[in-house]
């Protein structure tokens, strides 16, 4: 008999509006009232859906991270050989970060303003997972001979993850958008000519495709 509302859907809609407001004015400078107004609801209603400001960002981050995890999985399965897997992963990560740049910006913003150790720990876990995943792929590539055996997989993985983070931070600090495709192809070039064991003359012979 009472008004029936799809709470999940409405929470999503509110979070969407919140992200816009938070991104525009910054996490600290955006008041709960601003978010409510941006979502077109009353201040009190906001608290029907989210316990507090961090909860809103957490909600957004979940959506962000779900697509990220799914995309990473897809990228992993898309290619049979380590090198292509790596390209696929990095390309996807870069594109995803730029596609979800508002979410990224807000999450980093929040991380600075609140000192939520739980969130930080979760994020650190995600990063560690990424590093481990990439290091693993690099190791495999070194073992099957497709990647140069002369570098430390862990350090190189850290380098890639840092690069991913850096792209996000650059986007956050500067107002002008980054060219995802350009960055991705530049990175690709760096990788293909850098970490592959097979060199130009080899490639010319085999045809260039690593698989």
Partner DNA sequence: CATGAATGAGGATTCATTCAT
Partner DNA sequence: TATGAATGAATCCTCATTCAT
R_g of the chain computed on alpha carbons? 21
Looking at residue 28, the DSSP 8-state letter turns out to be T
Q: Do 161 and 134 meet the contact criterion of CB atoms below 8 Å apart?
A: yes
Please identify which residue in the block is written with the tokens 């560690």.
128
DSSP, collapsed to helix, strand or coil, labels residue 27 as coil
Task: Return the one option of DNA, a copy of itself, none that residue 114 interacts with (CB less than 5 to 8 A, by type).
Answer: a copy of itself
Task: Verify binding: residue 112, a copy of itself, rule CB under 8 A.
Answer: yes
Region 47-106 residues binding a copy of itself, contact defined as CB under 8 A: none
Task: Verify binding: residue 74, DNA, rule CB under 7 A.
Answer: no
- What are phi and psi for residue 190, nearest 5 degrees? -55, -45
Task: Return the one option of DNA, a copy of itself, none that residue 12 interacts with (CB less than 5 to 8 A, by type).
Answer: none
Task: Return the one option of a copy of itself, DNA, none that residue 124 interacts with (CB less than 5 to 8 A, by type).
Answer: a copy of itself
Q: How far apart are CA 96 and CA 70, in angstroms?
A: 11
Nearest of 47, 65, 53, 44 to residue 21 by alpha carbon = 53
Task: Verify binding: residue 118, a copy of itself, rule CB under 8 A.
Answer: no
Q: How far apart are CA 161 and CA 158, in angstroms?
A: 5
Task: Return the one option of a copy of itself, DNA, none that residue 25 interacts with (CB less than 5 to 8 A, by type).
Answer: a copy of itself
DSSP, collapsed to helix, strand or coil, labels residue 147 as strand
Comparing CB distances to a copy of itself, the nearer of 14 and 138 is 138
Comparing CB distances to a copy of itself, the nearer of 43 and 74 is 43
| One residue of 53, 58, 96, 131 binding DNA per CB under 7 A | 53
Q: How far apart are CA 46 and CA 28, in angstroms?
A: 17
Task: Verify binding: residue 24, DNA, rule CB under 7 A.
Answer: no
Task: Verify binding: residue 166, a copy of itself, rule CB under 8 A.
Answer: yes
Give me the DSSP letters along 161-194.
HHHHHHHHHHHHHSSSPP-HHHHHHHHHHHHHHH
Q: Which residues of this chain interact with a copy of itself, rule CB under 8 A? A: 2, 25-29, 42, 44, 108-109, 111-115, 120, 123-124, 127, 148, 150-152, 155-156, 158-159, 161-170, 173-175, 178-179, 182-183, 185-187, 189-191, 193-195, 199-201
Binding residues for DNA, rule: CB under 7 A, are 1-7, 10, 29-33, 41-45, 47-49, 51-53
């Amino acid at each position: 008999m009472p008004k029936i509302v799809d709470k999940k859907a409405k929470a999503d809609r509110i979070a969407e509006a919140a992200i816009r407001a938070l991104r525009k004015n910054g996490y600290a400078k955006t008041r709960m009232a601003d978010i409510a107004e941006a979502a077109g609801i009353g201040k009190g209603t906001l608290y029907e859906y989210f316990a507090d400001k961090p909860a809103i960002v957490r909600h957004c981050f979940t959506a962000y991270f779900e697509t990220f995890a799914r995309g990473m999985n897809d990228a992993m399965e898309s290619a049979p050989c380590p090198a292509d897997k790596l390209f696929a992963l990095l390309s996807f990560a870069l594109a995803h970060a730029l596609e979800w740049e508002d979410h990224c910006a807000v999450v980093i913003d929040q991380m600075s303003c609140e000192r939520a150790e739980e969130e930080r720990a979760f994020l650190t876990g995600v990063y560690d997972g990424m590093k481990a995943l990439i290091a693993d792929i690099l190791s495999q590539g070194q073992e099957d001979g497709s990647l140069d055996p002369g570098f430390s997989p862990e350090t190189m993985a850290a380098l890639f993850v840092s690069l991913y983070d850096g792209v996000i931070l650059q986007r956050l600090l500067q107002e002008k958008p980054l060219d995802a495709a350009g960055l991705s192809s530049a990175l690709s070039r760096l990788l293909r000519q850098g970490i592959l064991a097979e060199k130009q003359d080899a490639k010319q012979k085999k045809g260039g495709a690593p698989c």
